[in-house]
């Protein structure tokens, strides 16, 4: 059984001979092998690091990895699946991202189009979909029987869990529509600990480093299940979901995006590595920094420096005691594990 957190990071690094090695990080290992295997083959056939990131993420979008990437998963409160994605060029520091993307399946490719065909960094909502159509992407329904079933079951369960707080009627027992509680006090309806720790939002993130030291990173996800329509998580935000700088390294994160994006963990990890801190320690420092404010954080991060050294760290929480990742090379994939802190 795959835990509901995943970061798939494909790191291709130079050896003493002109070969490359891929490191793939994901709790759901078989899917990681496929996504990172495609990223590796893209690099091995002469593709760029951006090509590798795009192809790996695209594979998961089509395969609907864990139901948390691509179409047909994580319906919002209206039952609609929307997508977030981001890609970053560590050589030029250019970024392209999309959030709350509707009716377009190829989120990571649209994100790359934002980077390459506009001067913007992030497009969101229906306007992002119009941009995608103008770029030649097909508009199609992202709903599936599975997503319809998930939404129906959520409605039957009195809209539990949800992301509302300090509203009336009580969001812990009743569906909306909701209105704000004007005077917050002892009767305010806060998000309970169990509801705030819902393990229902995941990301695929890829880091690619080629033998020339070029670095790119990217993410793709369909976000938190049953989210309030319009919600955009950490995945498409540069420095939060992922970050790449070819002079230092790259990082990608996953978990409770609404919390993690406040701390820009991927950016922070890269800056730690720029200071000479090894990737394992950099990852751990990022997690501990967030834990100071959110001790029960559900999240993980993978880091790789410019020389190809890598590390990972995760925050121990219910359902997440260990974080599995794979070192992928042309011969085989090696499953590795870190204990959460």
Q: Annotated active-site positions, please?
A: 203
The two structure tokens encoding residue 145: 């029987």
Buried b (16+ CB within 10 A) or exposed e, 206-237: bbbbbbebbbbbbbbbbbbbbbeeebbbbbbb
Q: Which residue has the tokens 């990082």?
A: 251
Helices (H), 189-264: 193-196, 257-260
In the chain, % helix, strand, coil (3-state, to 5) comes to 30, 25, 45
Gap between the Cα atoms of 283 and 281, Å rounded: 5
The two structure tokens encoding residue 210: 């080629």
- The crossing angle, in degrees rounded to 10, of helices 49-63 and 29-44 is 140
H-helix or E-strand containing 117?
A: helix 107-117
CA-wise closest residue to 58 among 50, 46, 70, 43: 70
């Amino acid at each position: 059984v795959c835990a509901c957190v995943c970061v798939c990071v494909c790191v291709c690094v130079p050896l003493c001979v002109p070969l490359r090695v891929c490191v793939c990080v994901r709790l759901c290992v078989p899917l990681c092998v496929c996504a990172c295997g495609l990223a590796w083959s893209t690099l091995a056939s002469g593709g760029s690091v951006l090509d590798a990131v795009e192809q790996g993420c695209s594979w998961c979008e089509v395969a609907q990895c864990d139901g948390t990437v691509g179409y047909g998963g994580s319906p919002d409160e209206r039952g609609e699946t929307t997508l977030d994605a981001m890609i970053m060029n560590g050589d030029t520091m250019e970024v392209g991202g999309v959030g709350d993307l509707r009716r377009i399946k190829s989120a990571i490719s649209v994100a790359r189009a934002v980077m390459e065909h506009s001067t913007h960094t992030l497009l969101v909502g229906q306007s992002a979909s119009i941009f995608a159509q103008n770029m030649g992407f097909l508009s199609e329904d992202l709903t599936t029987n599975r997503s319809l079933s998930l939404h129906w079951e959520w409605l039957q369960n009195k809209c539990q869990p949800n992301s509302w707080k300090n509203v009336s009627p009580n969001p812990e027992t009743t569906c909306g529509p909701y209105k704000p509680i004007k005077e917050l006090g002892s009767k305010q309806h806060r998000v309970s600990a169990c509801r705030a720790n819902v393990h229902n939002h995941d990301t695929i993130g890829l880091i690619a480093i080629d033998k020339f030291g070029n670095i790119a990173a990217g993410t793709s996800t369909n976000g938190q299940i049953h989210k309030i329509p319009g919600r955009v998580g950490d995945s498409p935000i540069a420095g939060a979901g992922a970050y790449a700088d070819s002079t230092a390294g790259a990082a990608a994160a996953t978990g409770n995006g609404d919390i993690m994006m406040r701390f820009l963990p991927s950016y922070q990890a890269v800056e730690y590595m720029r200071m000479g801190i090894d990737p394992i320690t950099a990852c751990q420092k990022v997690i501990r920094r967030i834990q100071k404010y959110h001790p029960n954080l559900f999240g993980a991060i993978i880091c790789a420096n410019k020389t190809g050294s890598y590390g990972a760290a995760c925050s121990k929480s219910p359902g997440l005691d260990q974080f599995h990742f794979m070192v992928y090379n042309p011969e085989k994939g090696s499953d590795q594990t870190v204990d959460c802190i």
